[in-house]
Each structure stands twice: as C-alpha cells, then as structure tokens.
Amino acid sequence: MKIEFIESRLHEIEQRLLAEMGRAEIEARELGGPEYQNRSDTSETKEAVFDQTTAAWKQYTLVREAIARLHNGTYGICADCGRPIEPRRLESVPWTAYCLHHQEQHDREPVL
Ligand SMILES: [Zn+2]
C-alpha cells in the first residue's frame, strides 16, 4: 500500500470522527437545554452521548498518532516488538500501532 493512499484514508476517518464529535457535542448541549430538564431519561441519554464522544475521541487520537507515524517513518511497525504489522491487519485497522499478537496482549490489560 502506498503511503499517500494510507494517509488519505486516515484523513478521511479523522474527518468523520470530527464530525461525529461535533454532532455529539450539539446533542449534549441540547440535553442540557430547558426542554429536557424534566425528563427522567436525560442522565441515561447524557451518559450514552458521553460514551460515544469518548470512543470517538479515543479513536481520533489513535488516527492522529497513526498520521504522525506515517510522517516519521514508523508507520506499520509494531510499537512493542518493532516487527512489521500484518498488511491485512493494517488494511482493516489502518490506525493500529500494534501487531496482532501485541494488540491481543493490550486488549487483555485491565482498563483503568
Ligand atoms: Zn508486536
């Protein structure tokens, strides 16, 4: 895969996440508005919006880091073992920083 192609793909994902976060922000603001004040489901909905924003923000950070790695020449190399990340994995998860083996290890780590 060519770097330019990966970069344009990552920028596409970046834009999509920015739009998603923007929408969630508007939604959150509306939930704080007067029309929602007396609704019992507000806190639950707020939590859902927050979770969605957090997930989008986390992914956005990963995408930004992947773009930085493209520029400093470390893209596609596992941050743990320094071996090349499986091409098929990069194709489906272009923002990943780990090979399959190490991603599995990180997934098993407890989330703080
Ligand atoms: Zn690795």
CATH number of 3-108: 1.20.120.910
Distance from Cα 100 to the centre of ligand 1, integer Å: 7
One-letter amino acid at 103 equals: Q
**What percent of the chain is predicted at pLDDT more than 70?**
93
- What is residue 60's predicted lDDT score, i.e. its pLDDT? 96
Cα of 110 from ligand 1 centre, angstroms:
19
Query: pLDDT by residue (tens digit) across 17-59?
Result: 999 999 988 888 888 877 676 666 778 888 888 888 899 999 9
User: DSSP class of residue 38?
Assistant: T
pLDDT at 2: 81
Residue 112 to residue 109: CA distance in whole angstroms:
9
3 pLDDT exceeds 90?
A: no
Burial track 64-75 (b if 16+ CB lie within 10 A, e otherwise)? eebbebbeeeeb
Residues with CB under 5 A from ligand 1 (ion): 78, 80-81, 99, 102
Q: Any idea of the CA torsion for 72, 13, 91, 70, to the nearest 10 degrees?
A: -10
Please, what is the average pLDDT of the chain? 90
Q: What's the average model confidence in pLDDT over 53-68?
A: 94
pLDDT of the residue at 81: 98
Q: What residues does each domain of the chain span?
A: 3-108
Tokens of 16: 């999509």
C-alpha 22 – ligand 1 centre gap (Å) = 34
36 Cα: distance to centroid of ligand 1 (angstroms): 48
Q: Which residue has the higher pLDDT, 36 or 104?
A: 104
The Å distance, Cα 81 to ligand 1 centre, comes to: 4
Contact (Cβ atoms closer than 8 angstroms) between residue 13 and residue 95: yes
Which residue would you say has higher pLDDT here, 16 or 28? 16
For residue 74, pLDDT over 90 is answered with yes
